[in-house]
């Protein structure tokens, strides 16, 4: 994977969608290119919020031209309302990616934890600290959704590197 291999990680949510872009450097380290969140006000109707998420993801893809986009798979929550809300956001994120013809990869939460920390049962704090260390950042990225999105991008970077090395 070359140094210009940019990966966009997305942590979908209706109120807050996290995004994080990483790339490998020539010395095989990882570098954060950009990260943050897409916020939608709860006072807006759902369809307006989804349009905002969709357009923001389209803009991120057009601005950064990632070679791949990685998204967390929907996990079943005890709260059906939360799962449905995340599902709405995830749907428009997947649509934006599909329309861009950028390769899409999806990872389960345990796969992300395993790739970032080496342990599939890692805590949120452990993941955030490993994101900080792996990307050589002074502080843990805030808010949590941005750190989660960077973890998703890191997960794909490691997965793609493993597949590349194992196919040689």
Active site residues: 11, 72, 145
Could you identify the residue written with the tokens 């570098």?
31
Which residue blocks in the chain are alpha helix, DSSP H? 46-64, 80-100, 109-117, 124-134, 144-166
Residue 143, preceding peptide bond in cis (omega within 30° of 0): yes
Report the DSSP beta bridge partners of residue 32: 22
Token pair for residue 141?
């990225």
Count of Cβ atoms closer than 10 Å to residue 102 Cβ: 15
Q: Any idea what DSSP says for residue 138?
A: S
134 Ramachandran zone, left/alpha/beta (phi>0; psi -120 to 50): alpha
């Amino acid at each position: 994977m070359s140094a210009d291999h940019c990966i966009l990680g997305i942590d979908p949510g209706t109120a807050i969608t996290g995004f994080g872009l990483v790339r490998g450097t020539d010395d095989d380290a990882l570098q954060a290119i950009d990260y943050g969140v897409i916020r939608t006000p709860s006072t807006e109707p759902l369809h307006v919020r989804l349009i905002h998420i969709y357009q923001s993801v389209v803009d991120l893809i057009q601005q950064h031209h990632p070679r791949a986009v990685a998204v967390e798979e929907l996990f079943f929550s005890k709260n059906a309302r939360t799962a449905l809300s995340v599902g709405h956001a995830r749907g428009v994120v997947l649509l934006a990616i599909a329309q861009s013809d950028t390769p899409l990869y999806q990872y389960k939460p345990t796969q992300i934890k395993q790739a970032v920390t080496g342990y599939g049962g890692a805590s949120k704090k452990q993941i955030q600290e490993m994101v900080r260390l792996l990307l050589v950042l002074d502080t843990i990225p805030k808010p949590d959704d941005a750190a989660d999105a960077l973890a998703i991008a890191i997960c794909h970077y490691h997965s793609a590197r493993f597949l590349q090395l194992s196919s040689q």
